Amino acid sequence: MEHNLLERTANVALVAIFLAGIVGACAETSGGTADIRPDLESESKEGEAAAELASRIYLASAPSTEAGEVMVDVSYARGASVPGARVAEIRVEHSPTLRFLGAAPGTSLELADKQLTAQEKDGFVRLIIFSPSNANSLDSGSLARLRFNREGEGGARVELSSDRPMLAPGAANEGLVVGAPLEL
């Protein structure tokens, strides 16, 4: 029990440090807000060239072996013109027809020796990516694989929330492109 309390205290401290970094990152950007753009299909060629230089976070469905189970990969494509993220807080919203079962770290996290914490609350999953022992940058690849169980009839949707900065340092958010929702 004492070990769990120490672990929780350490996690709370890390989250506080992360959030302080995000707040500072917001202040560094113009106007006090990060430049996070939704993924638009009708960008001009100039916009497409700029998007190649920016980082991208997106969702993709993944194969599942269990009936009724839905797997979703949260992936990161590091842009050529921005520093790599060292810490991330990503909110993934999901429809009520999906019940969150858990999350596993992706290859990008494993290669950077980062930890993944997943918390579900009120129709969204909060992913926190950090390391208490290093400041390694994330490379392009899978950040996490989310497992859901489909419950009831009707469609299901998973979507990244872009209402706040997702990455630290703050410069990693510059021009960040957030992928389109995933209809399942």
Q: What is the pLDDT of residues 9-32, one digit of tens each?
A: 444 444 444 444 443 433 333 333
Q: What is the pLDDT of residues 137-149, one digit of tens each?
A: 999 999 999 999 9
Six-digit token string for 174:
């510059």
List C-alpha distances in Å: 82 to 75, 144, 162, 167. 17, 21, 18, 11
Are the C-beta atoms of 75 and 106 separated by less than 8 Å?
A: yes
In this prediction, residue 133 carries a pLDDT of 95
Q: What's the predicted TM-score (pTM) here?
A: 0.73
Give, for all 184 residues of the chain, the pLDDT tens digit: 444 443 444 444 444 444 444 434 333 333 333 444 455 444 444 445 455 678 999 999 988 888 889 999 999 999 988 899 999 999 999 999 999 999 999 999 999 999 999 999 988 999 999 999 999 999 999 999 999 999 988 889 999 998 889 999 999 999 999 999 999 8
Q: What CA–CA distance (Å, rounded) separates 105 from 157? A: 21
